[in-house]
Amino acid sequence: MSSAPIRSPTLRPHRMKKDESFLGKLGGTLARKKKAKEVSDLQEEGKNAINAPMNPSAVDIHPEDTLLEENEERTMIDPNSKEDPKFKELIKVLIDWINDVLVEERIIVKQLEEDLYDGQVLQKLLEKLADRKLNVAEVTQSEIGQKQKLQTVLEAVHDLLRPHGWTIKWNVDSIHGKNLISILHLLVALAMHFRAPIRLPEHVSVQVVVVRKREGLLQTTHVTEELTTTTDVFILIFFFPVKPERDAFDTLFDHAPDKLSVVKKSLITFVNKHLNKLNLEVTELETQFADGVYLVLLMGLLEDYFVPLHNFYLTPESFDQKVHNVSFAFELMQDGGLKKPKARPEDVVNLDLKSTLRVLYNLFTKYKNVE
C-alpha cells in the first residue's frame, strides 16, 4: 500500500539560471515583475528560510514545501526529532496497533503518511474500533473523492471525541497533505479514546519547522509540538478484565514479563491435559504448535471427534504445508463457535510466541472446563 515519495532533486542555485530556480518559480509572476534588487532579496530570504535556526544543515526543506501561496504555511518535522528514539517508538507502536486491529481486513500499514492520507485505512480503522459502518465509497482514486471520504471519516471521529473534551489538531487538508504531525495527533487520540491495549511512550515532543509566506517572502519559525503526555491511566494489565477481542498480550510482553511464565505454564497444563490422551506432551509452546499438527489434534480432542488424516499433513515438511495445517485448525475453531483468530497462520508457523499464545488462550477461555 505504501509507496516511496518522489522528492525533487537536490537544489543547486549557483548552477541554475535565475528564472529556473525554485525561488523564481515560487514567486511566479510576482517575482518576474520585481526589480533586480527585489528578486535578489527574495532569493536571499529563501536561502535564509531553508538554512535557518536550530540545525542549519539538518532542516530538510524540499522545493515543493516552499511553493506556497500568499499567507499559506506548511509544517515539517525537524530531522533531529525524527531520530528521537521515543518518536520512532511512538510511530512503531501505532503502526503495530493499526495492523493488529485490521488483521482481518488483510491491511498492512508500513508508513503512516503514505497509507493513511486517502482515508481508506482510517475508514476501516474507525469502523472496526467503533463497530459501525460509514456511508462512504470503498475505493476512491480522485483527490476530490479522497477528501470527501476523509471529511466523512473525520466528522465521525469528531462526533466521538468532542463530547469528551478532545482538542482537534487535524483537518482534511492536513491529513490528505500527509502531515505526519496531524496524523499522529489523530491516531493518539483514537488509541486513547478507545483504550487500545498498547503502551504509548510518554512525553513525546518534536521540533516542528513552520514555513510561511508573507508579502512574497518566506519566513520560518520553530515550535515544540507535544504528541503524548502521560498514558498511565490507559495501561492495560493482562490480569485485568478486557474485551475478549482486545487482549493485552503486547502489554504482557512489554511490561509484565514476570507474568509471562505464569501464563505459559497455565496454557501448557491446559493443552497437555488433552494431548496426553494421545500420549503427546508439550513442553515448548513456541515450537511445538508451529506446524499446526498439535492444533488440529487438540481441536479434535476438545470437540470430541476424529479428524481424518487426509485433511491435514501429519508430518509437514514445507512452510506451505504448515500454513495449511494452522489454517485448517483455525477453520475447526470457527466450526466450534470461536471467532476467527486474529493471529495469522503464517505468524504461528514463524514461531511468533504472541500469536501462538493468543490462539491457545482463546481455546483455554472456551474449553478450560472440558474434561
User: Which residue did the predictor score with more confidence, 156 or 67?
Assistant: 156
Largest CA distance in the chain: 93
Q: Which CATH class is domain 79-203+227-239?
A: mainly alpha
- Whole-angstrom CA distances from 281 to 152, 270, 284, 288 are 53, 11, 9, 9
Assigned architecture for domain 248-368: Orthogonal Bundle (1.10)
- Please write the tens of the pLDDT for every residue from 215-234: 778 888 888 888 987 543 34
Spell out the residues 6+ positions from residue 27 whose beta carbon is closer than 8 angstroms to its own.
34, 39, 42, 216
Give the pLDDT mean for 47-53. Answer: 42
In the chain, which residues fall in CATH 1.10.418.10? 79-203+227-239, 248-368
For position 61, what pLDDT does the model report? Answer: 52
Q: Which phi and psi (to 5°) does residue 117 adopt? A: -65, -30
For position 5, what pLDDT does the model report? Answer: 46
* DSSP category for residue 350: T
- Please write the tens of the pLDDT for every residue from 306-336: 999 999 999 998 888 998 999 999 999 988 8
Report residue 2's pLDDT band, with 50, 70 and 90 as the boundaries: very low
- Please write the tens of the pLDDT for every residue from 82-97: 888 999 999 999 999 9
Report residue 186's pLDDT band, with 50, 70 and 90 as the boundaries: very high
For position 233, what pLDDT does the model report? Answer: 36
Residue 247 CA, distance from chain mean position:
17
- Mean pLDDT estimate for the chain: 77
Report residue 200's pLDDT band, with 50, 70 and 90 as the boundaries: confident
User: pTM, whole model, 2 decimals?
Assistant: 0.48
Nine-digit cell at 37?
534588487
Count of CB atoms situated within 10 Å of the CB of 223: 10
Q: Is 18 exposed, middle or buried (0-12, 13-18, 19+ CB in 10 A)?
A: middle
Q: Which phi and psi (to 5°) does residue 226 adopt? A: -90, 120
Q: Is 269 exposed, middle or buried (0-12, 13-18, 19+ CB in 10 A)?
A: exposed
